[in-house]
């Protein structure tokens, strides 16, 4: 089912309305950021975490009005759009862009936004029945700087990783940072279980500051599973007991294979059960 309506700068419009001009800065320069979120039973999941990350990102990009895009704003706009679309469960994408004239240098820093809703059938997260087959993407490393943790509209590293994934007939890929340490996956954060201890790349390693990453860290610690945010050599993937991916729309996805290595999914299943109880 396709959504009937979108929210464009606080105006509810038919989803096929042409709303963006050629001078839009997110189109021209990738001058924006976005939040991928999950709606369940008509309510936005983890609104506070999404709002915190969005506001930090807007502030880092020197955008005006970041304080207005709080958890109340996200809940209100998401639930209003869901009601208009007669949809209770789905995937939401909020895109915030700098609305300004100018070339690389903007003439001002006010923002515009769009909110889209893609309906889904079930009000819960599902662990994939068949584990993912993955490999390491080595053509482009993700740069390390203070913009690396932001879900920005400049996504060429992920695009190239996705092309490689399709060419190699994989289900996802591991992305390395510029120093060739583990960073993230194509659209997810990465967790590695090694000797009953969870490891995930630290934010200093360039990964996106994932909302589900933080949720899963909290769930693991609550269930007495130690977690370390660290610099991770990809060679550990040959020794790991489990590897799984996290993002806000899918929850947890377990990895079955990397090369000839095969993984279990016991902890992945347990954490997914805990996630669905939140």
Query: Quick one: CA dihedral 137, 96, 87, 5, positive or negative?
Result: negative
- Domain range 5-119, CATH architecture: 2-Layer Sandwich (3.30)
Fold of 132-276: D-amino Acid Aminotransferase; Chain A, domain 2 (3.20.10)
Q: What pLDDT does 212 receive? A: 99
Q: Answer for the pair 29, 76: CB distance below 8 angstroms, yes or no.
A: no
Q: What is the pLDDT along the chain (278 residues), one digit of tens a residue?
A: 677 999 999 999 999 999 989 999 999 999 999 999 999 999 999 999 999 999 999 999 999 999 999 999 999 999 999 999 999 999 999 999 999 999 999 999 999 999 999 999 999 999 999 999 999 999 999 999 999 999 999 999 999 999 999 999 999 999 999 999 999 999 999 999 999 999 999 999 999 999 999 999 999 999 999 999 999 999 999 999 999 999 999 999 999 999 999 999 999 999 999 999 99
Q: What pLDDT does 2 receive? A: 76
Domain ranges of the chain: 5-119, 132-276
**Closest among 128, 159, 154 to 272, alpha carbons compared:** 128
């Amino acid at each position: 089912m396709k959504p009937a309506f979108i929210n464009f700068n606080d105006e509810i419009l038919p989803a096929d309305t042409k709303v963006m001009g050629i001078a839009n800065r997110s189109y021209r320069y990738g001058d924006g950021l976005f939040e991928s979120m999950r709606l369940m039973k008509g309510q936005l999941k983890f609104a506070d975490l999404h709002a915190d990350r969005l506001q930090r990102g807007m502030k880092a990009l020197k955008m005006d009005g970041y304080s207005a895009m709080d958890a109340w704003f996200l809940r209100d706009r998401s639930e209003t759009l869901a009601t208009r679309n007669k949809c209770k469960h789905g995937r939401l994408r909020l895109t915030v862009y700098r609305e300004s004239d100018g070339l690389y240098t903007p003439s001002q820093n006010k923002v515009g936004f769009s909110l889209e809703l893609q309906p889904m059938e079930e009000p819960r997260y599902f662990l994939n029945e068949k584990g993912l087959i993955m490999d390491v993407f080595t053509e482009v490393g993700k740069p390390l700087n203070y913009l690396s943790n932001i879900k920005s509209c400049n996504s060429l590293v992920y695009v190239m990783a996705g092309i490689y994934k399709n060419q190699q007939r994989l289900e996802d890929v591991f992305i390395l940072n510029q120093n060739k340490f583990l960073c993230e996956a194509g659209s997810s954060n990465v967790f590695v279980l090694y000797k009953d201890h969870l490891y995930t790349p630290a934010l200093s390693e360039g990964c996106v500051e994932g909302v589900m990453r933080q949720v899963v860290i909290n769930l693991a610690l609550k269930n007495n599973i130690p977690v370390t945010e660290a610099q991770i050599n990809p060679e550990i993937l040959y020794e790991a007991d489990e590897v799984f991916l996290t993002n806000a729309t899918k929850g947890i996805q377990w990895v079955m294979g990397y090369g000839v290595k095969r993984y279990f999914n016991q902890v992945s299943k347990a954490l997914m059960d805990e996630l669905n109880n939140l």
